[in-house]
Amino acid sequence: MAAFRALLDLCKRRGFLYQSAEIYGGLRGAYDYGPLGVELKKNILNSWWQRHVYWRDDVVGLDTSILTPHPVLKASGHVDEFTDLLVDCVLTKERFRPDKAPTLEFISSKDTPGGRIPVEAPDKATAKAWQQLIQEQIAPGIQTTLEGKRIMLHVNSFVKPDAKGEGGRIDFVSASMPEQSISLEYNGYVEPNSNSPFLTASRPFNLMFKTFLDPIDPIDRVIQTATSQEQQNKSQGAIREAVDQVLKPSTVYLRPETAQGVFINFEQVTRTMNKRPPFGIAQVGKSFRNEIRLEHGIFRTPEFEQLELEYFIPPWESSHWFKYWRELRFKWWLEHACHKENFRQRDHEKNEMAHYASSCTDVEYKYPWGWGEVEGVAHRGNYDLTQHIKNSNAAFEVVEDEVRVSPSVMEVDECLIPTEKPARYVPHVIESSCGLNRTMLAYLCDAFHQVSEGNNKPPRSILRLHPRLAPVKCAVMPLTGKPEFMPLAESIAKSLRRRGWFTMVEAQKLKIGKRYYRHDEIGTPWCVTVDYQSLEDETVTIRDRDTGNQQRMHWRDIQRFIGDKLMDDEEL
């Protein structure tokens, strides 16, 4: 984690990431992307879009509204089903998801039959306050001791919960009667940061951000409805239901995924672009989720960007296309990686798949804190289109005079082929959903290297980003700050910028080696040095970031040299 902290420091110091609204204390989980962060995100997005739209004749793009009306997300199941379980710690006041929380940590003890549970506080003063809170309010009568920042809870016995998370129990030692116990229910997890077992029962928490598209302040309507004569003496639940009904016509959501915008435009895309399955619709855009726990910088945030592809297929070809996209997407990840061994695919177990999915494979990256999902490839079946047909009577059914099998398809499920003529079916969908923020973080972690300089010097940092992803493609460096070098340096930079490559002129009064190292730190693949010989024969030196190798060439050849290096001749 020390290396990860060094990477985050580099990102802030060099212009990849800033804390949003930092001058006002910041906003938890919100980040702004600086000049280099914007370029890195754009380059990742461009690589993805190029591969999945420009290189193919069966995928088109779409950009749908962020604001989504209630009926769309009601039909898709998000209003009722898009929830996580939420647990509060009554000691630390932290909220977390129980499925991501650790199990209880015990310390064996000679003095206590069942051992001791250490509760970790951030400092000694907090530990003392927590101990008082436990003894006086949370669990009066249990025996505790204070060891620096740790509160030790003395335990007589411990029973693990069953597979359903039920039946678990912790029997604490009573301070006044050690032979007796004070029992607490244990469901198999504790608060992640402190190891505290003092938790509320889990409850569902909808992850969507709700807002209102209405010229009238919705709070006024809430007050009017809740305080009306009709609602007096009713239960809180009944009042809440009445308020929801009043607000329902103006209720909209910030979309929790980009996919639903694609599904509800399916018929319009097929009609205007004359597309028939198999074909795909790609979309890049912001999504919003009211995450319970925000963590690891930009890994989990309430606002994030998605790279999503919905590929519509005849049902009888679904097995083939799921395997196809599963393989193709993983190939893209490895192509840009320094350490391919830190990327893997993991198939979902039946009990962890979304209710609409029949198969799902995650691409995971080994972050400093462990494996984390960066993309999911899922076979969504025809759930989404069918739901929107039921709720809107949309014309999403495909009608064909005769059944066709795509020439490239090697695996066909014949039992799903319609027998009537004309053939009618609702397409199945293979979805590739990739988080752009997590992708950026994964490639930054993958590229971050610390190189020892020896002689007790601190290590220097190098970002070995793939050249196509690197924010700055080239840095042009006049040997000194003398004005006679600048016209040629500017001409080189101008020629590269016109190719669409972010290029910087570095004319500071620093040794050339230090300027090289500054660009190694931000991942610049090539540095071009203009020196005295350049003024005589117009040749320059170009240096490679990863090898340190240098070669001499005419400055007009720099464009072709970099273009050849960036050329992507990988075939799909």
| pLDDT, position 570 | 47
| pLDDT, position 66 | 97
Q: Give the range with max mean pLDDT: 198-202, 348-352, 553-557.
A: 553-557
Q: Of 93, 435, 77, which is closest to residue 260 (Cα–Cα)?
A: 77
216 inside domain? yes
pLDDT mean over 506-524: 93
Contact by Cβ (8 Å): 79, 70: yes
Give the pairing of strands 150-159 and 209-212: unpaired
Q: How confident is the model at residue 569 (pLDDT cuts 50, 70, 90)?
A: very low
Q: Which residues of 187-198 are buried (b: 16+ CB within 10 A; e: fewer)?
A: bbbbbbebbbbb
pLDDT at 237 exceeding the cut of 80 = no
pLDDT 10s digits, 265-300: 999 999 999 999 999 999 999 999 998 777 788 999
pLDDT mean over 257-270: 96
Whether residue 386 is found in the same domain as residue 476: no
pLDDT 10s digits, 433-472: 999 999 999 999 999 999 887 777 888 999 999 999 999 9
79 inside domain? no
Whether residue 431 is found in the same domain as residue 511: no
The rounded distance, in Å, linking the Cα atoms of 105 and 117 is 6
Report the DSSP beta bridge partners of residue 169: 159, 185
Q: Of 532, 554, 528, which is closest to residue 541 (Cα–Cα)?
A: 528
pLDDT 10s digits, 404-413: 888 888 889 8
Whether residue 388 is found in the same domain as residue 269: yes
The rounded distance, in Å, linking the Cα atoms of 402 and 430 is 23
Domain boundary residue among 394, 428, 444?
444
Share of the chain above pLDDT 70, in %: 99
pLDDT 10s digits, 159-192: 888 877 788 999 999 888 877 788 999 999 999 9
More confident site: 114 or 321: 321
Residue 119: its H or E element = strand 116-120
pLDDT mean over 392-397: 94
Question: CATH no. for residue 438?
Answer: 3.30.930.10
Give the pairing of strands 83-88 and 343-347: unpaired
483 inside domain? yes
17 inside domain? no
539 inside domain? yes
Whether residue 305 is found in the same domain as residue 423: yes
Residue 537: its H or E element = helix 532-537
pLDDT mean over 352-356: 78
The backbone region for 254, taken as left when phi is positive above 0, alpha when psi lies in -120 to 50, beta otherwise, is beta
The rounded distance, in Å, linking the Cα atoms of 541 and 553 is 7
| pLDDT, position 571 | 42
489 inside domain? yes
pLDDT mean over 189-200: 94
Whether residue 249 is found in the same domain as residue 274: no
The rounded distance, in Å, linking the Cα atoms of 184 and 171 is 6
Scanning the structure block, which residue is given the tokens 């509160």?
Answer: 151
| pLDDT, position 325 | 97
Contact by Cβ (8 Å): 211, 73: no
Q: What is the mean pLDDT of the chain?
A: 91
Residue 180: its H or E element = none
Whether residue 270 is found in the same domain as residue 401: yes
Whether residue 172 is found in the same domain as residue 270: no
| pLDDT, position 568 | 57
| pLDDT, position 572 | 38
The rounded distance, in Å, linking the Cα atoms of 470 and 42 is 10
pTM: 0.86
The rounded distance, in Å, linking the Cα atoms of 273 and 240 is 45
Question: CATH no. for residue 535?
Answer: 3.40.50.800
The rounded distance, in Å, linking the Cα atoms of 524 and 470 is 6
Whether residue 321 is found in the same domain as residue 233: no
Whether residue 309 is found in the same domain as residue 435: yes
Report the DSSP beta bridge partners of residue 365: 343, 372
Whether residue 382 is found in the same domain as residue 348: yes
7 inside domain? no
388 inside domain? yes
Whether residue 553 is found in the same domain as residue 489: yes
CA dihedral 43, 48, 52, 56 (to 10 degrees): 40
pLDDT 10s digits, 488-499: 999 999 999 999
Whether residue 331 is found in the same domain as residue 388: yes
pLDDT mean over 353-358: 80
Contact by Cβ (8 Å): 482, 507: no
As for how many domains the chain has, the answer is 4
> Where in the sequence is the domain holding 562, given as residue range(s)?
472-566
Q: How confident is the model at residue 227 (pLDDT cuts 50, 70, 90)?
A: confident
